[in-house]
Structure 1
Amino acid sequence: MSSATPAAPLAMISAAAATPQRIAPRRLVAFLIMVFGMFMSILDIQIVSASLTEIQAGLSASSSEVSWVQTAYLIAEVIAIPLSGFLSRALGTRLLFAISASGFTIASFLCGFASSIEQMILWRAIQGFLGAGMIPTVFASAYTVFPRSKFHIVGPIIGLVATLAPTIGPTVGGYITDALSWHWLFFINVVPGIGITVGVLALVDFDQPNFELLDRFDWFGLIAMGGFLGSLEYVLEEGPQYEWLQDTSVAVCAAVGVISAIAFFYRVLSAAEPIVDIRAFNDRNFGIGCLLSFCIGIGLYGLTYIYPRYLAEVRGYSALMIGETMFVSGVTMFLTAPIVGRLIQKVDMRLIIAAGLIIFALGSFQMTWITRDYDFYELLLPQILRGVGMMFAMVPTNTIALGTLRPDRVKNASGLFNLTRNLGGAVGLAVINEVLNDRTDLHIARLQERVTWGNATATETLNMFTQRMQGMGDAALMAMKQLSQIVHRQAVVMGYGDAFFMLSLFYLGLSLLVLFLKKPASMSAEPAH
């Protein structure tokens, strides 16, 4: 044991805090190259969402088949993300990231040349599985390679990428498909992917591999984890459109998921070298941070889905027009990131998270009065509030959850943390779809009860349509059909209003969760090793 007096370490800490720690240029460049790789991996989740119709036509696929272009990527990514913690310790950051980047690039190239839907689904699954390793590796590097005094710089960078990439995915995809073709959604990854692979191999020297860990790789744990997370993702993706357990495939996957979950948790708690180390959840800030990340994922991916769906379904926008409208949130996030970086140095991060969740709730509440006439300018303020709220909530949550852990625990914890955000997105999409379907059906029933011959406005509208369509066939039938379409469209819009109201209440209530976080230490002091 050291015999130094308590004054000695206090003096050392004061001296360290007083002397600004410099980031080596080589290390910063290597980190930024890795961040760009993470951006590509996250972007590719949503980049195809605005172009599925073109891909469907190009591959002669059905609407149910083409949805797997996105689902296959998500399922593979969800399985691979928690695995990255073990692989990062075994292979080292440099080798794991290079394998992920090169594999992602090759799979992207093959996706662009796919000539059938089966080939596309296979290469997209491989692309998602290999590319997933880049995401938690960047998070882990940000909070282990750089000193705490620099977290206000690296934290906003990874927070911006994690939120911006899925937000602008439909925009980027719409532009590329409109200007070139859907093939270039994948070809565009090739040159940057090669550059990232070469750059990482040349510059990254953050840690050393421990190849001996590979001898103790838990294959049973991997199979159990794959069955659990893959089945869960499938149930959440397909359940809303197939009436959940009433569909055989969803019911079978749910059963497989339950059995695999039991086997997985038994294995990680009993294996000498588990595939995923869940002991990080013993840290209160990490556990609550993961819960916040899960809930933030609901809003991040949920609103990236609900806004384009409204613009396409109600407004009739093209993919390019949707992208241009959605770009507001992306610009707002970009401008807000440096402000958050400054704030986390001076303000209690718990207050910033609470403010972000409340701002996000206000942005959603603005949309509860949505009508079928909502256009770019009506969506402007809600999207600005969404962008500001998301950055205020995301960046401090990342820092509190990962930045306060011991460095030797961050690699495993980073995979779990990123997994919660993706699972939150999957749950959010399932819940939002269910709410939209159920509330739309309810509003259709209620509106049809009121649109009767006793309703003067309805009768007037029907007579006007009938007169307008005289000489065009069965005018009365055509007028009735047009009135029915108006009722259905109004019910759909009211369903969107209900979904936004639900999100408002959810995030307003979620802001209270920060009360359970422990106040993090100053960002100038290093965590205990």
Structure 2
Amino acid sequence: MSSTASAKAGAPSDPISRQGTAPDAVPARRVIAFFAMVFGMFMAILDIQIVSASLAEIQAGLSASADEIAWVQTAYLIAEVIMIPLSGFLARMLSTRIVFTLAAGGFTAASALCATATSIDQMIVYRALQGFIGGAMIPSVFAAAFTIFPPSRRAVVSPMIGLVATLAPTIGPTVGGYLSDALSWHWLFLVNVPFGILVTIAAWNLIDFDKPNLKLFSHFDWFGLAGLAAFLGALEYVLEEGPRNDWFDDSAIAILGIVSVVGAVLFFWRAFTAKEPIVDLSAFTDRNFAFGSLFSFIMGVGLYGLTYLYPVYLSRIRGYDALMIGETMFVSGLAMFLTAPLSGILSGRVDARVLMGTGFAAFALGTWMMSGLTQDWDFYELLVPQILRGFGLMMAMVPINNISLGSLPPDKLKGASGLYNLTRNLGGAVGLAVINTMITDRTTLHYQRLAEHVSWGRPVVDERMAQMSAQLSANGIDGQTGAIAQMVSLVNRQAAVMAFADIFVVLTGLFVGLCLLTLVLRKPPKAGASAEAH
């Protein structure tokens, strides 16, 4: 198969491959290079969510409509989801050094352009560039971690990349809220520039653990790339815009749904027939990688779903501004940060299935507690569920990373890393689409049910309406009309809260199912076992 050919072609130029198993002593140069790469990945993942709490400020600054401002997020996600699987082939062809340097430099330049945007059209183009170019940094770090470091060092490395992958999107609204409140929305992007320059310089001068294989360019599969772009780009659009536009009742979504299906057919055909497929799917023949990718997909649902759901509740129901939302959400990030060392220590001593089960159970317990949500819940009511969420994500993420990528041969790591990260992002996209649809549908359902009980002639309702009418009349307002409007608002808010509670119940069931799924996994190799022993 093509993957075998590429492995042979890449073998002479890959020092790690020639050495077999990497020695325990990792050169300081490579350690520093890895830290620079991790920071670059942190910036790229952070920018997925950093604007989420500040879209209103950007909308006002660019005089954009509500529909247009949503594309600040959508453009970034569509572009990034195309680059993530493509990055594996590019890294094999050009080397990690060149790909990461170009990605870091391009991401930095695109960030500066976003800060200078004077119209919504410019911002959308610059955000697409930022997402596409920066997307190459994310899988490169995962591949580098399992290439540079021997299994004996992964108890330190795995928690680090797991922490960045989960912490960055979680604290994105917090960072964005502080920057836009203290400075302006421009600093959501300008903050990347000095750090991006340093990462670019470090990547060019320090990354040295693989060599390019330029012969692959002659086999570049342009049809496969077109299929990949159509499949994932259109799919991301459908998932992002579907909940807002009645799904396939909207002609644009219906057309792009067809484009996605056609693109998928073209992409998978080329993946199995091209001499050098643009994305090597053979890693899925490894059972651990296949299950790990499934877990990563579900983790994406939980990670991005709750990072979205908490701010929506705090904004719509509690009336919090961006800064207050950020301060409330900081709890999960702190829990992740404190759990990362514990997860790393336990990963070398405890069965990975036990760690995953513990993490999934903690997450499920947190979402189950949230199923009792009311419109009065505040920071302290959300405290324990957020701690459980952060703890659960970190306890599960580290063993999932190790199971998915830790036993793959070096020639598979670059492509597999892109696929693994793609599953997490797609999980987030699917999760957000389902959550948004459930918010709309369940709010409507609960409103109709509540409205049946809020009718004239019921003593409780008549008494409440009379109180509201009297209060409004005392302030010189049409009492009856104002009371009806207030009652409608109260019922709407209660219906929305009940819809949020329903979503937390569904998420609980999803993660309880993951707990059960860990029971059917084979016992994974110990962290100290070599990849070749697998």
1:523 pairs with 527, 531, 534, which one?
527
Residue number in structure 2 paired with 1:28: 31
Deviation of 1:167 after TM superposition, in Å, equals: 0.2
| 1:174 lines up with 2:177 in the alignment | yes
1:229 correspondence with 2:241: no
- Correspondence list, 1:371-386, <5 A: 371-386=374-389
Q: Which residue of 1 aligns with 2:154?
A: 151
Per-residue deviation at 1:513? 1.7
5+ residue gaps in structure 1? 1-15
Match of 2:123?
120
Identify which range, 97-106 or 206-215, moves more after superposition. 206-215
Aligned pairs (5 A) from 1:357-396: 357-396=360-399
The alignment partner of 1:356 has SS state of helix
Query: In the alignment, which residue of structure 2 is the partner of 1:498?
Result: 502
Residue 119 of structure 1 deviates from its aligned partner by 0.8
Q: Which residue of 1 aligns with 2:16?
A: none
CA distance in 2, matches of 1:470, 1:132: 58
CA-to-partner distance for each residue in 1:122-175, whole Å, 9 max, x for gaps?
111011000000000000000111100111111000000000000000000011
CA deviation profile, 1:222-248 (whole Å, cap 9, x unmatched): 011000000000000000010100001
Question: Which amino acid letter does the alignment assign opposite residue 48 of structure 2?
Answer: I
In structure 1, C-alpha distance between the alignment counterparts of 2:196 and 2:264, rounded to whole Å = 35
Q: Report what 2:467 is aligned to.
A: 464
State whether structure 2 residue 273 is matched by structure 1 residue 270: yes
Q: Which residues in structure 2 correspond to 1:248-259 (within 5 Å)?
A: 248-259=251-262
Q: Which residue of 2 aligns with 1:200?
A: 203
Deviation at 1:206, TM superposition (A): 1.1
Deviation at 1:485, TM superposition (A): 1.0
Q: Which residue of 2 aligns with 1:43?
A: 46
Q: Distance in 1 between matches of 2:23 and 2:257?
A: 53
Contact 1:353 1:514 (C-alpha < 8 Å) held by counterparts: yes
Tell me what 1:10 maps to: none
Which residue is 1:218 aligned to?
A: 221
| Whole-angstrom distance in 2 between the partners of 1:505 and 1:457 | 36
User: What is the rounded CA distance, in whole Å, between the counterparts of 1:477 and 1:509 in structure 2?
Assistant: 49
* TM-score normalized by the length of structure 2: 0.94
CA contact (8 A) 2:96 2:140 kept: yes
The one-character-per-residue Cα deviations of 1:454-507 (angstroms, maximum 9, x if unpaired) are: 432212111111121225242111111111111111111111111111111111
Deviations 1:257-303 (A, max 9, x none): 01111111001000000000001100011001001100000000000
Matched, 1:89 2:92: yes
1:434 aligned residue: 437
User: Does the aligned pair in 2 maintain the 1:284–1:517 contact within 8 Å?
Assistant: no
Counterpart position of 1:8: none
Number of matched pairs: 513
1:511 aligned residue (486, 506, 515): 515
1:393 deviation in Å? 1.2
For 2:456 and 2:384, locate their aligned partners in 1 and report how far apart those are by CA, in whole Å: 40
Which one-letter code corresponds to 1:520 in the other structure?
P
CA distance in structure 2 between the partners assigned to 1:208 and 1:217 by the alignment: 18
Q: Which residue in 1 is equivalent to 2:310?
A: 307
Q: Secondary structure at the match of 1:23?
A: coil
Residue 434 of structure 1 and its aligned partner are, at CA, apart by: 1.0
Deviations 1:397-451 (A, max 9, x none): 0110000111111111000000000000000000011111111111100111011
Moved more, 165-174 or 450-459: 450-459
Aligned counterparts of 1:486 and 1:162: Cα–Cα separation in 2 = 39
Q: Aligned-pair distance for 1:215? A: 1.6
- Conserved 8 A contact 2:26-2:148: no
Q: 2:75 aligns with which of 72, 78, 84?
A: 72
Cα deviation per residue 1:325-355 (whole Å; 9 max; x = unaligned)? Answer: 0000000000000000001111000111111
Task: Confirm or deny that 1:184 pairs with 2:206.
Answer: no
1:20 Cα offset (Å):
9.2
Checking the alignment, whether the CA contact within 8 Å between 2:106 and 2:130 is kept in structure 1 is yes
User: What SS does the corresponding residue of 2:95 show, helix, strand or coil?
Assistant: helix
Is 1:482 matched with 2:495?
A: no
User: What is the distance in 1 between the residues matched to 2:434 and 2:265?
Assistant: 24
Q: Deviations over 1:93-113 (max 9, x none)?
A: 111100000000111111110
| Residues 114 and 120, structure 1, Cα contact 8 Å, conserved in 2 | yes
Corresponding residue of 2:426: 423
Q: Identify the residue that residue 109 of structure 1 maps to in structure 2.
A: 112
Amino acid at match of 2:264: A
Moved more, 400-409 or 292-301: 400-409
Per-residue deviation, 1:21: 2.3
Q: Is the 8 A contact 1:404 1:520 kept in 2?
A: no
User: Is 1:316–2:314 an aligned residue pair?
Assistant: no
Q: Structure 2: 5+ residue runs without aligned partners?
A: 1-19
Give the distance between the partners of 2:259 and 2:192, measured in 1 at CA. 35
Show the counterpart of 2:7: none
| Aligned: 1:162 with 2:165 | yes
Quick check: 1:441–1:491 contact (8 Å CA) kept in 2? yes
Letter in structure 1 aligned against 2:348: Q
Provide the rounded CA distance (Å) in 2 between the counterparts of 1:204 and 1:44. Answer: 24
Task: Provide the rounded CA distance (Å) in 2 between the counterparts of 1:351 and 1:200.
Answer: 37
Q: Could you tell me how far 1:25 is from its partner in structure 2?
A: 2.0
CA contact (8 A) 2:347 2:399 kept: yes
Q: What percent of counterpart residues are identical? A: 58
Q: Does 1:131 align with 2:145?
A: no
Residue by residue over 1:185-224, the C-alpha shift from the partner in whole angstroms, topping out at 9 and shown as x without a partner, is 1111111111001011111111111111112111111011
Q: C-alpha distance in 2, partners of 1:510/1:374?
A: 28
Residues 302 and 429 of structure 1 are in contact (CA less than 8 Å); yes or no, is this contact kept in structure 2?
yes
Question: For the Cα contact (< 8 Å) 2:366–2:384, is it kept in 1?
Answer: yes
Q: Distance in 2 between matches of 1:453 and 1:254?
A: 46
1:445 aligns with 2:448: yes
Deviation at 1:22, TM superposition (A): 2.9
Deviations 1:27-55 (A, max 9, x none): 11110110000000000000011111111
